[in-house]
Structure 1
Amino acid sequence: MTDEFVPANRANWDARVPDHLVAYGAEAFADDPGANSVRGDLELMAPHLPNGSIEALDLVHLQCHIGTDSLSWARLGARVTGTDFSGEAIAAARRLATRAGLDAQFVQTLNDDAPAVLGREFDVVFTSIGVLTWLSDLNAWARTIHTLLRPGGLFFIREGHPMMSALASERDDDLLVVTEPYFPTGHPQRFDDGVTYASDNLIKEHVTTYQWPHSLSEIFEALLHAGLSILAFDEHTTIPWKALPSLIPTPEGYVLPSGRERLPLMFSIAARKSS
C-alpha cells in the first residue's frame, strides 16, 4: 500500500473493530466450538490439498481483521498465523483466540513486510473477502504470497468480483448500472462516508479511506508474474454481505433478486508455488 495512505486506512480499520466485534457476533463465535466461517473455502480448496484436508498444515491468513476466519481454520486443524495492519484488529483476534481456547498466532504487519516479520514459510496462504481494494500494488502482494509459500504450497483467495464492485451501489431498483472503474486507474478512490459494511453504524472519526480498483486481468497477471501457477478459477453468484441494495438474503448468502446468471458477485482462485 502506498505509504501516504496507510495511516488513514489503518486508523479507519482500527475504528471499525468495536462495531465489527458486535456485528460479527465474535464472542458467541468464539464460545461455540462448532462455529466456522470457512467450510465453503475448504470445499473449494480440498482438491488441491493433501488428502483434501487442512489438518496439520501451516496456514498464514493475510489481512485477517479480527480473526474469525483464522480461528475457523484452527478449528479445522490448521496451524494458523493471522496478519493484519490494524493493531486494534490484531488485539481483538488474540482475545478471541484466548476466549476460544485455540492455538493461533496473530501478528501486526503490512502484507509487504510479512515475509521479513514472520521469517518463515507456510503450506497455505489464505486471504478472502474485501481485501484487494485496500492494496495499491498487486505485484508486491503477489510477491509476498510467493515468498511466504513453501515449494508446492497453495494460495487461495475468495473475493468480491471486480465487476460487482464497478456497479452503482446506491440505487432503489434492481438495475445493474456500471458507474465505478473496473480497470485500475493508477490512483485511489477517496471515501469519506464512515460506512463499516458490517452494520448500519457509521464511524464518527477517521472516516476517510483510500481504495483501489483491480480488474481480473490485473489479479491474474500479478499472480502469474510472481511465479504462481493457477490451479482453479471460479465465479460465484452469492456473496456473504449485502454488497448492493437490491441483493436479498438466502441460506447460501446474498443473491440478486432475479436473474442470478446476470452477474458474478464473487470469484475464487487457487494457485500453487512450483516445487
Structure 2
Amino acid sequence: MTDYRDVNRANWDERAPAHAASAGYNVAAFARDPHHLSDVVTFDRPLLGDIDGLRGVHLQCHIGTDTVSLARLGATMTGLDFSPASLTEARRLAAASGTPVDFVESDVYGAPDVLGAGAFDLVYTGIGAIGWLPDIRRWANVVATLLRPGGRLFIREGHPVLWSLQDDREDGLLVLEFPYFEHEEPLIWEDGGTYVDTDRTFQHTTTHSWNHGLGEIVTALLAAGMTITGLVEHDTVPWEALPGTMTRLPGGEWQVTDRPRRLPHSYTLQAVRAAV
C-alpha cells in the first residue's frame, strides 16, 4: 500500500512554488512591510493574545507565512513541515523578510523525535492542517509531548461540518456528502488545481485526507492530559471553501452568501497541558 505521506508530499511539493508566487499568500508584502502579518494570524490575534517572548512551534507550517507572522508578534518560532519544497519557500520568505525562524523537516507524528519533549510554550496549528492526518489521538499526544507543563495549544481549523459538505453543487444547496467522523480509510481526491489562482500544471494530483469530528478532537486532547480552555466556532473561513456560493469579506475571510449563520465555517480551539 502506498504511504499517504508519500502521496501527499508529492502533491504539496508541487503546490509550494505556486503558492509562494500567488497573490493569495502575498509573500512580497512581508519583505516590503516589516509589520505585515498574514490574514490568518491577523484574524487569530484577538484570541491568540500576547505571545511575546514565548517559544512556539507551528505544525504543518507549509510556506511559512503564518510562522513568520507569529515571529513578528514576538515569539521565537520553529516551523515544521514534511514537504522540503514548502520549507525551501518558507526559508526564502524568512530571509527576505528579515525574520528569524527555524524550519525543520518532519511529518507531525515524528515531531517529538526531531524537536524534543516539553520544549515549547505554544503549539500553533492553522487552517487546513489536521485533515491530512489519519489519527487525531496520535496528533493530540504529539501536541502534549511538545508542550512544557502549562504550555498552550492554539488551533484554528476548518470546521468538520464544512469538510463534510459537497463543494461542487450547481444548485448551491448545503449537502452533507462526506464523513464527519474520523474514518480508517482515507478520502482519495484527484484534483489538478489548488486553492490559489495559478496557471501552473501539476503532475501529482492525488491526495489522501481524513475528517475528524469536533468531539473526537476534544476527547483526544483530554485523553492526552490537556485541559480545554476555549472553543469558539466562526461563521467565516479564510478560503473559498464552497466555490460559487460564498462572499469574500474584508480581511480575506469568506462566508456562505445565503444565510451564513446556518453553517459553522471554522473553529478556534485552545487547550493547556497540565502543570506538574
Instruction: Place the TM-score, normalised by the shorter chain, in its bin.
Output: over 0.9
Pick from 35, 38, 42 the counterpart of residue 39 of structure 1. 42
Deviation at 1:182, TM superposition (A): 1.1
When residues 59 and 146 of structure 1 are mapped into structure 2, their CA distance, relative to the original with a 3 A threshold, is same
Aligned pair in 2 of structure 1 residues 84, 3: CA closer, same or farther (>3 Å)? farther
CA–CA separation in structure 2 for the residues paired with 1:210 and 1:203: 20
TM-score w.r.t. the length of structure 1 is: 0.93
Q: Distance between the aligned counterparts of 1:257 and 1:178, measured in 2?
A: 18
Cα-Cα RMSD: 1.5
Q: Distance in 2 between matches of 1:153 and 1:273?
A: 6
Runs of 4+ with deviation above 3 angstroms: 200-203
Superposed CA deviations along residues 44-71 of structure 1, whole A, max 9, x for unmatched, are: 122xxxxxx1111101000000000000
**Matched residue, 2:186:** 188
Quote the offset at 1:30 in angstroms.
3.2
Is contact 1:237-1:266 (8 Å) kept? Answer: yes
Superposition map of 1:83-94 within 5 A:
83-94=80-91
Over residues 139-194 of structure 1, what are the superposed CA-to-partner deviations in whole Å (9 max), with x where a residue is unaligned? 11111100100100000100000101111100223321111111222110111112
Instruction: Say whether 1:30 aligns with 2:23.
Output: no
Counterpart residue type for residue 264 of structure 1:
P
Decide whether aligned partners of structure 1 residues 202 and 237 sit closer, same or farther in structure 2, where only a CA change above 3 A counts.
farther
Secondary structure, in 3 states, of the residue corresponding to 2:3?
Answer: helix
More displaced stretch, 251-260 vs 263-272: 251-260
Aligned to 2:255: 255
Count of residues paired in the alignment: 268
Question: Are the aligned partners of 1:63 and 1:127 in contact in 2 as well (CA < 8 Å)?
Answer: yes
Contact 2:18 2:200 in 1 (8 A): no
User: Is the partner of 1:173 in helix, strand or coil?
Assistant: coil
Match of 2:100 in 1: 103
Return the alpha-carbon distance in structure 2 between the equivalents of residues 224 and 3 of structure 1. Answer: 32
CA contact (8 A) 1:31 1:99 kept: no
Structure 1 position 122, deviation (Å): 0.4
Q: Report the CA distance shift for 1:93/1:165 in structure 2 as closer, same or farther (over 3 A).
A: same
Deviation of 1:202 after TM superposition, in Å, equals: 6.0
- Give 1:3 deviation, angstroms: 7.5
Distance 1:258 1:27 in 2: 34
